[in-house]
Amino acid sequence: MRRTTSLILLALAVFFTALSPLLRWYAFPRLAKIPPNQYQDMVLEARGATLLDYGTMKARKVSKVTIVQTLKGDVAASRRIEGTAGRDVVVWDGLSYVQGPDGKMVSRIPERYIFDAHSQEPVHATGETVDGDPVKREGIEFKWPFLTEKRDYEYFDAQTRTTNPIHYEGTRNFRGVKVYYFEQTIPWTKVPFPKTMPVQGITPESVAKTGTTRWYTTVRRFWVEPVTGAPVYGEEIHKEELRGGTLLGGRDRVTAFAGHVKMREDYVEHTVALVEHNRTVVLLLTSYLPWGFLTLGILLLALSLYLEARGRRPGDPAPARAAEPEPVSA
Residue 117 has pLDDT above 50, yes or no: yes
At 318 the three-state DSSP class reads coil
Long-range contacts of 246-253 (CB under 8 A, 24+ apart): 246/210, 246/211, 246/212, 247/57, 247/207, 247/210, 247/211, 247/212, 248/57, 248/212, 249/57, 253/215
User: What distance in Å separates the CA atoms of residue 12 and residue 32, rounded to the nearest whole number?
Assistant: 27
Q: What is the pLDDT of residues 176-218, one digit of tens each?
A: 999 999 999 999 999 999 999 888 888 888 888 899 999 999 9
Calculate the average pLDDT of the chain.
90
pLDDT of residue 65: 96
CB 97 within 8 A of CB 67: yes
- Strand (E) or helix (H) holding 33: none
List the domain boundaries for the chain: 32-263
Give percent of the chain above pLDDT 70: 94
Output 55 or 173, whichever has higher pLDDT. Answer: 173
238-297: pLDDT as tens digits? 999 999 988 888 899 999 999 999 999 999 999 999 999 999 999 999 999 999 999 999
pTM given for the model: 0.88
Q: How many residues does the chain have?
A: 330
